[in-house]
Amino acid sequence: MRAIAEPYRIKMVEPIAMTTREQREAAIRAAGYNTFLLRSDDVYIDLLTDSGTSAMSDRQWSAMMLGDEAYAGARSFDHLVEAVREHYGFPYVCPTHQGRGAEHLISKILITPGQHVPGNMYFTTTRVHQELAGGTFHDVIIDEAHDPASQHPFKGNVDLAKFQALIDEVGADQIAYINVAVTVNMAGGQPVSMANLRAVRELCDRHGIIMWSDATRLAENAWFIKEREDGYAGRPVTEIAKEMLSHFDGITMSGKKDCLVNIGGFLAMRDEHILTKARELVVVYEGMPTYGGLAGRDLDAMAVGLREALDDDYLAHRIGQVRYLGERLRDAGVPIVQPIGGHAVFIDAAAFLDHLPQDELPAQALAAEIYLDSGVRTMERGIVSAGRDADGRHRHPKLELVRLTIPRRVYTNSHMDVVAESVIRVFERRKEIRGLGFVYEPPTLRFFTSRFEPLPTGSAAGEDRPEPALAHA
């Protein structure tokens, strides 16, 4: 196979600082062992998220200079609408400050309290907004998605039998809509196949159910369809993406991912009534319907980035870079979620730290340990992220993961080498790693701001182990 180099050259650089082990020890202690609470200045390679961390192109920066900052009716809005119509195929757009702004609006619009919302695995902000609107989330993803070792090529697929069972149980009129994420973040950046989207559409049509999408990483999903699904190999991603989106009634979008911008999001849809309701709400929560909490320049940057993210050469490198890191880890025996996903490599922390029970927060502990080793910042995606159920008990997700998230167009494969070496080093001395306990826990989205402390030495599973000190508000 031929090497794939970055399909861009570097015109501006941002120096990053190296830190000493001593500095990192002080920094992680001050952050309560939560990588979200580290200062960016204390981080060497930042793989916390691919959200809002993309490098923009020269074309995006020049579009920003032409942004129209009129309070109402700005032409920057028209540019976004044109791009969405051309590439996503939706006639109507309502901008929001970021993805969760769009999730907030659509949850309020489509959910009547008491209704149910199936989806292909939960996402933190998505589920919170569904619950705040009075809905109940149901996971209808295929079982393979919960198994880190399963090699299923489309682990994001909806399990049609689970979806049908929910319809039979609660009745189609009690289902507000189905939310299909492309790709599925919490499953490891796993894609949904075109065949599955077609089948879900059929089921929705049969029962009169709205089919919505969290299209945050739609370009990456389209790339996987091109690579893995029969009949799509020779086709441009622009075509595949448009076909994917043709199955949906509308989408919520976090532009911070596959629109290659640092801030922004939107709702896009076919139904004028939903647009009218979105406009009524957006003026309350975000801003005028033509800017939705963004500056005109942000809308212009998003319109350009939306197109760039659908470029085949860009995606070949993007997905290739994530795979490069994943394969280095896998070849060294580090347990990771397979197949390697679109935006991140996910370490199976339960297998990596198999001496720690889930209640000792293995993924949180591993993220802290990787930071200590090299200054590489990663993110917990396990029991801490899953939060508590309605009865106040910890949810115990099947996946206990650490996410190494690759920002778009930011790092080179030399950075990936440094990351791989660090994780492998930590893996070699994994038995020394201790668990963590909560010392502060907020009531919602706790992973962002919780604080932890190391559990005492010798508190390994099976021994006399103190309960983590919980301070649930």
328 is an interface residue for ligand P61 by CB under 6 A: no
User: In the complex with ligand P61, which residue's Cβ is closer, 318 or 427?
Assistant: 318
How many CB atoms are closer than 10 A to CB 5?
11
**256 forms part of the interface with ligand P61 (CB under 6 A):** yes
In the complex with ligand P61, which residue's Cβ is closer, 256 or 297? 256
Regarding 34 and contact with ligand P61 (CB under 6 A), the answer is: no
CA separation for the pair 61, 312 (Å, rounded) = 21
- Respond yes or no: is residue 206 known to be catalytic: no
Give yes or no: 71 in active site: yes
CB of 124 to ligand P61, least distance (A): 3
> Choosing from 53, 96, 124, 125, which is the catalytic residue?
124
Is 311 an annotated catalytic residue? no
Rounded (5°) CA angle 437-443-447: 50
Binds ligand P61 by CB under 6 A, chosen from 216, 221, 262, 378:
216
* Smallest distance, ligand P61 to C-beta of residue 399, A: 14
How far apart are the C-alpha atoms of 77 and 306, rounded to whole Å?
14
Window of 65-73, 93-101, 106-114, 156-164 that interacts with ligand P61 by CB under 6 A = 93-101
Query: Which position among 33, 77, 88, 123 is part of the footprint of ligand P61 (CB under 6 A)?
Result: 123
- How near is the Cβ of 12 to ligand P61 at its closest, in Å? 24
Nearer to ligand P61, 100 or 394 (CB): 100
214 counts as binding ligand P61 under rule CB under 6 A: yes
Q: Which residue has the tokens 């640092």?
A: 262
Contact residue for ligand P61 among 32, 99, 119, 387 (CB under 6 A): 99
Note whether 262 binds ligand P61 by CB under 6 A: no
Is 331 designated active site? no
- 257 as an active site residue: the answer is yes
Residue 208, sorted as left (phi over 0), alpha (psi -120 to 50) or beta, turns out to be: left
* CA 38 – CA 47 distance, rounded (Å): 12
Taken in order 254, 259, 265, 266, the sign of the CA dihedral is negative
Q: Does 181 engage in binding with ligand P61 (CB under 6 A)?
A: yes
Q: Closest CB to ligand P61 among 167 and 190?
A: 190
Query: Contact between 51 and ligand P61 (CB under 6 A)?
Result: yes
Residues 6 or more apart in contact with residue 133 via CB below 8 angstroms: 107, 108, 111, 113
For residue 434, the minimal CB distance to ligand P61 (Å) is 24
C-alpha to C-alpha distances, 94 to 51, 128, 253, 259, 281, nearest whole angstrom: 20, 21, 10, 15, 10
Distance CA 416, CA 405 (A): 11
Bridge partner residues of 136 (DSSP): 116
157 vs 167 by CB, closer to ligand P61: 157
Q: Is 126 in the site for ligand P61 (CB under 6 A)?
A: yes
Residue 170 CB-half CA count within 13 A: 20
Residue from 21, 71, 313, 389 carrying the catalytic annotation: 71
Q: Comparing C-alpha atoms, which of 60, 116, 23 is closest to residue 300?
A: 60
Q: Which of 268, 272, 327, 261 is nearest to 295 (CA)?
A: 261
Catalytic annotation present for 381 = yes
- d(C-alpha 52, C-alpha 257), whole Å: 6
| φ, ψ (nearest 5 deg) of residue 379 | -130, 135
412 belongs to the catalytic site? no
Q: Footprint of ligand P61 on residues 399-428 (CB under 6 A)? A: none
| Residue of the chain from 125, 130, 378, 413 that contacts ligand P61 (CB under 6 A) | 125
Cα-Cα-Cα-Cα dihedral sign, residues 14, 19, 23, 26: positive
Strand 45-46 relative to strand 376-377, pairing: parallel
Instruction: State which of positions 368-397 bind ligand P61 (CB under 6 A).
Output: 379
For ligand P61, which is the closer residue by CB, 181 or 275? 181
Q: Which of 35, 54, 107, 124 binds ligand P61 (CB under 6 A)?
A: 124
Q: Decide: 27 and 42 in contact? Cβ < 8 Å.
A: yes
Kindly state the smallest distance separating residue 264's Cβ from ligand P61, in Å: 8
The 10 Å CB-count burial string (b at 16+, else e) for 252-285 is bbbbbbbbbbbbbbbbbbeeeebbebbbebbeee
Count of positions on this chain that bind ligand P61 (CB under 6 A): 17
Mask for 274-313, x = binds ligand P61 (CB under 6 A): ----------------------------------------
Nearer to ligand P61 by C-beta: 193 or 254?
Answer: 254
Part in contact with ligand P61 (CB under 6 A); list of ranges 122-130, 172-180, 294-302, 462-470: 122-130
Catalytic residue numbers read: 71, 123-124, 214, 257, 381, 447
Which residues contribute to the site for ligand P61 (CB under 6 A)?
A: 49, 51, 98-100, 123-126, 181, 185, 214, 216, 254, 256, 265, 379
